[in-house]
A = this chain, B = another copy of it.
Amino acid sequence: MQTTQIRLAAYPEGEPKDSDFETVTVDLPELQEGEVLLKARYLSLDPYMRGRMSRARSYAAPLEIGDVVLGQTVCEVVESTVDNRRPGDLVLAFTGWQTHAVVDARHVRRLDPEAAPPSTALGVLGMPGFTAYAGLLEIGRPAEGETVVVAAAAGPVGSAVGQIAKVKGARAVGIAGGEEKVRLLTDELGFDVALDHRSPTFADDLKAATPDGVDVYFENVAGPVGEAVLRRMNTYGRVPVCGLVANYNATSAPDSALGFPGFMNLVLTRSLTVRGFIQDEFVPTHTEDFRREMTQWVADGSVRYLEDVVDGLENAVEAFRGLLSGRNVGKLLVRLPD
């Protein structure tokens, strides 16, 4: 049995190039007792992966050159040595950018395709949805009537943030790039207002959309968009810092009109709370509530989700570039043939 893998060939400088990766086909090891043989059905592509392709100090060790690019996957069990995982079962695994893998059966979680489409385990009911849920509710703590702003709002985290804010009775203002996404935010996802950050009138649009200022800014993107929102923060505003995708491909310090001293002056004079987080922190405390509430909200239509499905392992690198430059709409998945 073989697997085709995408491995890191070089640490990318700036935007990842095709030559930063190599595709190889190798034999899988023999299945041992306690293991399962998996065939990937969906690969998850997420912005955090860019951080692992760098040696810069981060919250997790970088990939080594030659490693398979990491990531969660939805897989089908092909062969099993354990009773509670049968061939044909769909499972959530962490097998990365490859077609097949042999893993410890204890490291996969069985999915119930009757309860929800299996791909949602990588999106709204998985890590991105959990990130939105825990970061917004634990750090952002939106109160009824408050204004919540999120950028990359058409992405899997941002779209969940806005919709959970609505469930909590807050006003949701979404920011995205391009008319199509902006229309989706209000027409499909129930945001109160959606803004196109590419518009030349963005700063004025933001002001008009937040007449009472901003109470919670869920920071996904950084850059000029983030700075424009931070300037609108109210006293006692909260800023969960979840991602800084505009900076991920940067090869030198990005420009900042606000500047660090200007930012700290906002923090001080408006008594802001700025809190970085990685979703792992909240897994022990918030997983049970998340599964119960989010499953319910998806079932009753309070939280909707969008998926952007790309077919074929050979298109993963190009899709990943698109993710980092904002070309996808909804959760980006690579689907592998049955």
The chain A residues found within 8 Å of chain B, CB to CB, are 51, 57-59, 219, 222, 227, 235-236, 241-244, 247, 250, 253-254, 256, 258-278, 281
A264 to chain B, nearest CB (A): 6
What would 21 A/B residue contacts be, using CB atoms closer than 8 Å? A51-B269, A57-B269, A219-B264, A222-B264, A241-B264, A241-B267, A247-B264, A247-B265, A258-B260, A259-B260, A260-B260, A264-B276, A266-B276, A267-B276, A268-B276, A271-B277, A271-B278, A271-B281, A273-B276, A274-B274, A274-B275
Tell me if B262 and A253 are in contact (CB < 8 A): yes
Taking the nearest CB of chain B, how far is it from the CB of A260, in angstroms? 4
- Interface contact A259-B261, CB-CB below 8 Å: no
With beta carbons under 8 angstroms apart, the residue of B222, B264, B276 that contacts A271 is B276
* A261 & B241 in contact (Cβ 8 Å cutoff): no
Residue of B at shortest CB range from A51? B269
Query: Assuming the A-B contacts A254-B261, A260-B259, are A271 and B235 also in contact, with contact meaning beta carbons closer than 8 angstroms in the complex?
Result: no
- The binding surface of chain A is classed by DSSP as mixed
CA distance A90 to B313 in the complex (A): 80
CB distance from A276 to the nearest CB of B (A): 4
Q: Closest residue of chain B to A238, judged by CB? A: B275
Q: Which residues on B sit within 8 Å (CB–CB) of A241? A: 264, 267-268
Instruction: Give Cα A241 to B247, complex, Å.
Output: 25
Chain B residues whose C-beta falls within 8 Å of the C-beta of A267 in the assembled complex? 241, 274-276
**Partner pick for A244 among B58, B250, B264, CB 8 A cutoff:** B264
Which B residue sits closest to A242, measured CB to CB? B268
CB distance from A190 to the nearest CB of B (A): 28
**Interface pair A275/B272, CB less than 8 Å apart:** yes
Select A261's contact among B244, B262, B264, beta carbons within 8 Å: B244
CA distance in complex: A262, B260 (Å): 9
Evaluate contact between A263 and B263: CB separation under 8 angstroms. Answer: yes
In the bound assembly, the distance between CA atoms of A76 and B59 in angstroms comes to: 57
Question: Cβ of A270: which chain B residues have Cβ within 8 Å of it?
Answer: 59, 276
Closest A-B pairs by Cβ, 4 of them: A267-B276, A256-B260, A268-B276, A274-B274
Residues of B with C-beta under 8 A to A243: 268
Residues of B within 8 Å of A266, CB to CB, are 276
A242 to B: closest C-beta gap in Å: 8
